[in-house]
């Protein structure tokens, strides 16, 4: 069997942090992996220069992960067809709102039967229908797709601060390859057979993190934030068990993708920080995202809206009061002070 050829589809804050890890690890395992890691970049100008040129010449993504060196073997490519040509392993890591459009551009360009993993935290909702990105990727490209999620604030992982992550796989035997690609002494990987649980925890915790930020903006203190984390985790679990089959109980409490990601996101994530500013500064999320995140994207407010659309279509809005209050505060002008009403 030939060596695995890696392509990363996405190059934002997390995409670049994971490119650094994969770039280093392929060099540690030369029998298993080709040395070059390709990274598809949604091309843009940064400080008067193309971002791909900056990455390829300076080996740093100065826009989305400044101050962190990427290996010289990480090659930025603006053309998606060229980036995925010949790849045997795809790592999808982009804001979830762009994933379906990106898949449209990939159709017919990916070798069928290869392996992929989705690091995007989000779900796709169409009325009463909800889909995991790992499933959409599998179906659209006829490949097998795992899901990676955990308490993984990218700027910390990129600086080798100890972190853990969870990979939900469809076939246990794929676990070894994913571990070799992502594990470092400071980034610990657990493999579980729960693609749905890992994917859904990653998506839903972003709503909880927005709730935590709203409470922070109101200066309600730590007890309130802890309560939001606990209630949020319970709503996440109920949602998974009500609408998906086979989600494992252990994923919520024993895996980084579960409780640990709720905690880190509620304490220090972008969703939390921007939601805090939304309450304190009384400005729109759109404006605050642009000003505070420099091109990085919020997921939680969109997931709150998507989950609300789904719950309305299923007539189950009242069963998820935290998710619903977060949605109404972000999108319908409900006062933030009503965050805990009906909990």
Ligand X SMILES: O=P(O)(O)OC[C@H](O)CO
Ligand Y SMILES: NC(=O)c1ccc[n+]([C@@H]2O[C@H](COP(=O)([O-])OP(=O)(O)OC[C@H]3O[C@@H](n4cnc5c(N)ncnc54)[C@H](O)[C@@H]3O)[C@@H](O)[C@H]2O)c1
Q: Does 11 bind ligand Y (CB under 6 A)?
A: yes
277 HSE (CA, 13 A, CB side): 16
Sites for ligand Y among residues 45-74 (CB under 6 A): 64
Q: Which is nearer to ligand X, 297 or 334 (CB)?
A: 297
Q: Does 42 bind ligand Y (CB under 6 A)?
A: yes
Active site residue 205: yes
Q: Which is nearer to ligand X, 48 or 67 (CB)?
A: 67
| Candidate ranges 25-33, 44-52, 258-266, 332-340; the one touching ligand X (CB under 6 A) | 258-266
What SS3 class is residue 3?
A: coil
- Tell whether 331 is in a known binding site: no
The alpha helices in 68-123, defined as continuous H runs, are 80-84, 99-106
The one catalytic residue in 63, 205, 237, 273 is 205
Structure tokens at 141: 């490209």
| Candidate ranges 75-83, 139-147, 217-225, 269-277; the one touching ligand X (CB under 6 A) | 269-277
- Tell whether 14 is in a known binding site: yes
Residue from 5, 225, 270, 302 binding ligand X (CB under 6 A): 270
Residue from 7, 8, 14, 212 binding ligand Y (CB under 6 A): 14
Q: Are 162 and 138 in contact (CB under 8 A)?
A: no
Order of strands across the sheet that contains 115-118? 74-77, 33-40, 4-9, 89-92, 115-118, 144-149, 163-168, 187-192
Structure tokens at 155: 């700027």
Q: Does 94 bind ligand Y (CB under 6 A)?
A: yes
Build a one-symbol-per-residue string for 168-207: x at contacts with ligand X by CB under 6 A, - elsewhere: ----------------------------------------
Closest by CA to 330, choosing from 292, 293, 298, 290, is 298
Environment class of residue 109 by beta-carbon count within 10 Å: exposed (0-12), middle (13-18) or buried (19+)? middle
Q: At CA 329, angle to CA 326 and CA 330, rounded to 5?
A: 85
Q: Does 96 bind ligand Y (CB under 6 A)?
A: yes
Q: Does 289 bind ligand X (CB under 6 A)?
A: no
- Tell whether 178 is in a known binding site: no
Closest by CA to 61, choosing from 73, 70, 71, is 70
Q: Are 136 and 96 in contact (CB under 8 A)?
A: no
Query: How near is the Cβ of 301 to ligand X at its closest, in Å?
Result: 11
Q: Distance from first CA to last CA of the chain, Å, rounded?
A: 55
Residues classed as catalytic: 205
Q: Which residues are annotated as a binding site for NAD(+)?
A: 10-15, 42, 98, 154, 270, 297, 299
Binding residues vs ligand X (CB under 6 A): 121, 151-153, 209, 261, 264-265, 269-271, 299
Q: Which residues are annotated as a binding site for substrate?
A: 121, 270-271
Binding residues vs ligand Y (CB under 6 A): 10-15, 42, 64, 93-96, 98, 102, 119-122, 152-154, 295-297, 299
């Amino acid at each position: 069997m030939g060596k695995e050829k890696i392509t990363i589809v996405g190059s934002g804050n997390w995409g670049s942090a994971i490119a650094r890890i994969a770039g280093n690890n392929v060099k540690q395992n030369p029998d298993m992996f080709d040395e070059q890691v390709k990274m598809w970049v949604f091309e843009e100008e940064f400080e008067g220069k193309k971002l791909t040129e900056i990455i390829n010449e300076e080996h740093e993504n100065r826009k989305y992960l400044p101050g962190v060196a990427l290996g010289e073997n990480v090659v930025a490519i603006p053309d998606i067809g060229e980036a995925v040509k010949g790849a045997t392993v795809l790592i999808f890591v982009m804001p979830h709102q762009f994933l379906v459009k990106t898949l449209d551009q990939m159709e017919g360009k990916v070798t069928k039967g290869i392996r992929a993993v989705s690091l995007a935290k989000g779900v796709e909702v169409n009325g009463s229908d909800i889909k995991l990105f790992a499933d959409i990727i599998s179906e659209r490209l006829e490949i097998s797709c795992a899901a990676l999620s955990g308490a993984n604030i990218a700027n910390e992982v990129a600086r080798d601060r100890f972190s853990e992550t969870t990979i939900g796989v469809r076939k246990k035997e794929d676990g070894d390859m994913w571990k070799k690609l992502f594990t470092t002494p400071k980034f610990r990987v657990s493999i579980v057979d729960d693609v749905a649980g890992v994917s859904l925890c990653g998506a839903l915790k972003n709503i909880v993190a927005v709730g935590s930020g709203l409470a922070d903006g109101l200066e309600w203190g730590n007890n309130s934030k802890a309560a939001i984390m606990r209630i949020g985790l319970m709503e996440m679990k109920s949602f998974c068990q009500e609408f998906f089959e086979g989600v494992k109980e252990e994923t919520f409490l024993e895996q980084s993708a579960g409780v640990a990601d709720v905690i880190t996101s509620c304490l220090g994530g972008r969703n939390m920080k921007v939601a805090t500013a939304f309450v304190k500064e009384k400005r729109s999320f759109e404006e605050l995202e642009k000003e505070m995140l420099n091109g990085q994207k919020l997921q939680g407010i969109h997931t709150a809206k998507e989950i609300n659309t789904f719950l309305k279509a299923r007539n189950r809005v009242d069963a998820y009061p935290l998710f619903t209050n977060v949605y109404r505060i972000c999108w319908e002008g409900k006062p933030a002070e009503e965050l805990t009403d009906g909990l």
